[in-house]
C-alpha cells in the first residue's frame, strides 16, 4: 500500500487531516496532522487536492441550496508499474496514481450526490493532476541575500 491521507472538511471550511506514517507502510493507523511539515510532498499534494475539492463542493452546495454538511477524501498515493514491466529493472517505468474515495455527508438525494460528485472534478488541483502542467523554473536575480 502507498501513502495515505484523509482530508475532512465541514460546511464552515474547517479542515482536518489524518495521515498514516509514511515510514511504516505496513501500518494503516491514521494520526491527526497538526503541521504541514509532518507530511511528505506526496501527502501535501493529497492535502491540496482534498482541501481544494472540499472548498469547491461546499461553495457549490451553499450556492445551490444543497444540504452538504461534511465531505471527506480518503486518498492513497502509489506508483503503479506497467504490466509489461512487472519484472523489469527500469524503475522509471511506472505511473503515479491517487486513489480517492469521496464521502459526502448531509441530507442529500441520490441526484444531489451524483451532481456533487461531478462537481468535484472541477477543482483546479484535480484538473492539474489529471491533465498535467508545464512548470518553467529559473533563478531570480538578486536572490543571494544582498
Asked if 68 and 108 count as a contact pair (C-beta separation under 8 A), the reply is yes
Residue 138 placed within a domain: no
Q: What is the pLDDT of residue 3?
A: 87
Report yes or no on 60 lying in a domain. yes
Which pLDDT belongs to residue 65? 97
Residue 83 has pLDDT above 60, yes or no: no
| Residue 145 placed within a domain | no
137 within domain boundaries? no
C-alpha torsion sign, points 8, 32, 125, 128: negative
Range of the domain at 69: 3-131
Q: Is residue 36 part of a domain?
A: yes
The whole-number average pLDDT for the span 9-18 is: 95
* Pairwise CA distance, residues 102 & 69, whole Å: 14
- Domain-located, residue 42: yes
pLDDT of 90-100, one tens digit each? 555 567 889 99
Of 61-65, 75-79, 83-87, which one has max mean pLDDT? 61-65
Domain presence at residue 12 = yes
Minimum mean pLDDT among 13-27, 31-45, 56-70, 117-131: which range?
13-27
Place 6 in a pLDDT band, splitting at 50, 70 and 90: very high
Residues above pLDDT 90, as percent of the chain: 62
How is residue 97 written as a grid cell? 496514481
The closest of 40, 62, 56, 41 to 127, measured between CA atoms, is 56
For residue 143, is it within any domain? no
Task: Give the count of domains, the chain.
Answer: 1
Q: Read off the pLDDT of each residue in 23-43 and give the average, rounded to a whole number.
A: 77
Domain with residue 106: its CATH number is: 3.30.300.20
Tell me the whole-structure pTM to 2 decimals. 0.81
Amino acid at each position: 500500500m502507498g501513502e495515505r491521507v484523509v482530508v475532512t472538511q465541514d460546511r464552515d471550511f474547517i479542515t482536518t487531516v489524518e495521515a498514516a506514517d509514511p515510514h511504516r507502510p505496513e501500518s494503516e493507523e491514521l494520526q491527526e496532522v497538526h503541521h504541514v511539515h509532518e507530511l511528505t510532498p506526496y501527502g501535501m499534494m493529497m492535502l491540496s487536492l482534498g482541501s481544494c475539492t472540499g472548498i469547491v463542493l461546499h461553495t457549490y452546495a451553499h450556492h445551490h441550496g444543497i444540504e452538504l454538511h461534511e465531505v471527506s477524501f480518503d486518498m492513497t498515493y502509489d506508483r503503479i508499474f506497467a504490466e509489461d514491466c512487472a519484472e523489469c529493472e527500469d524503475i522509471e517505468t511506472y505511473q503515479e496514481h491517487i486513489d480517492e474515495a469521496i464521502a459526502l455527508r448531509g441530507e442529500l438525494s441520490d441526484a444531489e450526490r451524483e451532481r456533487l460528485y461531478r462537481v468535484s472534478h472541477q477543482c483546479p488541483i484535480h484538473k492539474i493532476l489529471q491533465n498535467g502542467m508545464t512548470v518553467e523554473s529559473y533563478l531570480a536575480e538578486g536572490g543571494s541575500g544582498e
